[in-house]
Amino acid sequence: MDLILISNPDLLSRERDTVKTLFTEAKIDCFHLRKPEADLDPYRNVLNGVPVEFRNRVMLHQYHEDLAERFKVRGIHHRMDSDFNAEFQGVQSKAMHSIQEIKDNTFPYDYIFLSPVFDSISKTDYKSSFNLEELEAFLKSRKGGPKIIALGGITAETAKQAKKMGFDGVAVMGYVWQEIRLDKMIARYQEVREAIL
């Protein structure tokens, strides 16, 4: 089961050092760099903090054309205003918010975030509207297609539930970034990893 860490959406002090430590100590498998309000320079600055040997684990949410090739990242994540790029040679992902949206998708994304599966931790007013029994039935009946990654409200406990439901992975954000201390961030990431083994 895949485990993805999504960056804090805000620019943080000492973020380069934090991200570097998360890669080296927490052993992040996949990191989505998402900074919706960031200009190119601060976004690039965070990416520069990722050790070269780990850049093939990074997915860019912005500045695909400026940075993807230069930094040799794993791939690109498409926002709502963009779709699959057949010319891009890396991994591609997108977020969707309903079962129907997934069913209607015709693009060969490598994976799709489905959110919010559980009530969001980072956006307290972003509540799940999924019927979890229907969602589980859909996931278990699927035959092929992109991997489906649970996003929204992911903790160690909900990650276990997502695994039982049939998700291909989970993406964690608020559960890790709500911690201030780096050792606690690492511990929370590792709790989620242990929960889905």
Q: What CATH number did the domain enclosing 136 receive?
A: 3.20.20.70
Amino acid present at 72:
K
Average pLDDT over residues 8-18: 92
Residue 13 pLDDT > 90: no
pLDDT of residue 125: 82
Structural domain count of the chain: 1
User: 44-94: per-residue pLDDT in tens?
Assistant: 999 999 999 999 999 999 999 999 999 999 999 999 888 899 999 999 999
Q: Is residue 86 part of a domain?
A: no
Q: Characterize 124-141 residue by residue with b for buried, 16 or more Cβ atoms within 10 angstroms of its Cβ, and e for exposed.
A: eeeeeebeeeebbebbee
Quick one: which of 51, 88, 95 has its CA closest to 68? 88
| Structural domain of 162 | 2-81+91-195
User: 142-152: per-residue pLDDT in tens?
Assistant: 989 999 999 99
Residue 102 pLDDT > 90: yes
Which single residue is written with the structure tokens 């973020």?
15
pLDDT of residue 192: 98
Q: Is residue 6 part of a domain?
A: yes
